[in-house]
Structure 1
Amino acid sequence: MIKSNMKNIFKLILKEQLGTILILCLLLTLILVCAVLLTYLFDAKLANKITSLVISNIFVGRVPSLSLGYAYNLPNNIVIPVNIITELILVTLIYPLFIFSFKGILKIKILEDFFSKINDKKHQHQESFKKYGKIGLFIFVFIPFWMTGPIVGAIIGYLIGLKHYVTIFIVFVATCFAISLWGLFLNEIVSMMISFDKKIIWITLLIFVVIILINKIRKLFSKRNKK
């Protein structure tokens, strides 16, 4: 449940950089939605595949989404941009929401645990961020480790005192590089697996997704039991 002071939010949207970031989020969302809808007019099967990539990225992550795209035999110029836009939409949405929550303008109950983990992550790597600054943030977003990535990186950028536009720019560049390299790597792996038997990649992808979902469900039940 979100409790908000609408007057303060509108002021932020109109006057502060966070407003521009939210507008960017709406623009990217509009571009993605329009692209999918236009694709439905010409090729419904392709549009369904693109939609599944977006959903997969949001709920499971970039690696399963990229792998799914290549399992569909989609080219790099579809798989990589769709994942980049999806992750940037998430960043430009959650980053302002975190700051609104941090400043007490919004109360976002569903994201409180996530924000708490990010704060712990910031303290864990505080010395590295102080030492390497923007380069450290770029590397943090770029490397594919647990609890790293564009959303976490953007929020940590704010917590260590970087300006909003600087943070979003670093996250944008690092995300583009990371997804592009992941895409090229996974494309080669998937192509090699398909050359033996196409069923192998679907079985591997299914097992990978099931493991991730089981892990998320297990953590959810663990949190509820603790409460």
Structure 2
Amino acid sequence: MIKDRQGLESENPYEENHDWRKLLATSEGLILEIGLIIALLFITVLGVGYIYYQEKAHVFIGMSATNILFGRAAGISFGYSFDISNVLVICTNIIVETILVLIFYPFFVFSWQSILIIKPLRRIMERTNTVAEAHQDTIRRYGLIGLFMFVWFPFWMTGPMVGCAAGYLLGLSPWKNLTIVLSSTCLAVICWALLLRSIHDRIAEYGPYASMVLVIMIIIIVSGIYFLRYLRHKY
């Protein structure tokens, strides 16, 4: 059953006075807690690594930030450009995307239900909701496999955060939704990593800086897409 549209279009009566204990007692609240704990542990590991292995820590911090800002392909390529192993690149990007999903999903649900709306994130929530609604009929037609493939396919705006929003709109339980989305995300990261590893190995033959050029090209393309979408929404 598809969720009725609400929340994102209305003002939140609880925006200034919400009970965090009640929010955290829900399934979404527990998911948020798990996401924050994993994020804290990840940041702690990066911090400790920065103290003892500063040069390597810079790479992992840069790879994580690049994934968050410019997407999976850029983050993975960043890691390979510094000759990081497959396992570390894959694990780091999976952790980053898992954290993003575990934190984003509860806030999306809270916003949809008009329980909690964070104004700086409202535009992101609305845009995610629009994309999720546009694809929910296609996903519903194929059920859980449709959601899995939607998250896995390397198309623009078909990533895990949009996928978990679409799963919620289709009425999936939080744990079933996230199980599908995160398992598909892991597979997608592995596939992207294997593909980009092959590309990096080939272009490395052209010089020591060829891999970094690829990263810069991906960032420029993603930034261009963001800018065009910004202009379209503004005008």
Letter in 1 for 2:112: F
Q: Is the 8 A contact 2:18 2:116 kept in 1?
A: no
Map Cα deviations across residues 149-202 of structure 1 (whole Å, 9 max, x no partner): 110001111000000011111111111111011111111110111123222222
- Where in structure 2 are the equivalents of 1:31-70 lying within 5 Å? 31-70=41-80
| Residue 4 in structure 1 maps to residue 15 in structure 2 | yes
| Residue 152 in structure 1 maps to residue 162 in structure 2 | yes
Map Cα deviations across residues 5-35 of structure 1 (whole Å, 9 max, x no partner): 554332020x211121011111210221122
| Residue 195 in structure 1 maps to residue 205 in structure 2 | yes
210-219 or 71-80, which deviates more: 210-219
Long gaps (5+) in structure 1: none
Letter in 1 for 2:57: A
Q: What is the aligned counterpart of 2:222 among 212, 217, 223? A: 212
Q: Is the 8 A contact 2:163 2:181 kept in 1?
A: yes
Name the structure 2 match of 1:84. Answer: 94
Name the structure 1 match of 2:5. Answer: none
User: Equivalents in 2 of 1:218, 1:151: separation in Å?
Assistant: 21
Coordinate RMSD, CA, aligned: 1.9
Name the structure 2 match of 1:127. Answer: 137
Letter in 2 for 1:58: I
User: Equivalents in 1 of 2:85, 2:214: separation in Å?
Assistant: 20
175-184 or 213-222, which deviates more: 213-222
Q: Is the 8 A contact 1:157 1:167 kept in 2?
A: yes
User: Equivalents in 1 of 2:44, 2:124: separation in Å?
Assistant: 30
Q: Is the 8 A contact 1:9 1:105 kept in 2?
A: no
Higher relative contact order (CA 8 A, sep 6+): 2
Name the structure 2 match of 1:180. Answer: 190
The 3-state SS of whatever aligns with 2:117 is strand
Q: Is the 8 A contact 2:111 2:117 kept in 1?
A: yes
- Where in structure 2 are the equivalents of 1:101-116 lying within 5 Å? 101-116=111-126
CA drift at 1:210: 1.8
User: Equivalents in 2 of 1:118, 1:201: separation in Å?
Assistant: 32
Name the structure 1 match of 2:8. Answer: none
Long gaps (5+) in structure 2: 1-11
Q: Is the 8 A contact 1:8 1:105 kept in 2?
A: no
User: Equivalents in 1 of 2:76, 2:175: separation in Å?
Assistant: 28
Aligned residues: 223
Q: Is the 8 A contact 2:133 2:166 kept in 1?
A: no
Map Cα deviations across residues 29-63 of structure 1 (whole Å, 9 max, x no partner): 02211221221233100000000011101110110
| Residue 165 in structure 1 maps to residue 175 in structure 2 | yes
Letter in 1 for 2:22: K
29-38 or 126-135, which deviates more: 126-135
User: Equivalents in 2 of 1:168, 1:38: separation in Å?
Assistant: 30
The 3-state SS of whatever aligns with 1:133 is helix
Letter in 2 for 1:9: W
Which structure: greater helix fraction? Answer: 1
CA drift at 1:95: 0.8
CA drift at 1:221: 4.0
TM-score by length of 2: 0.87
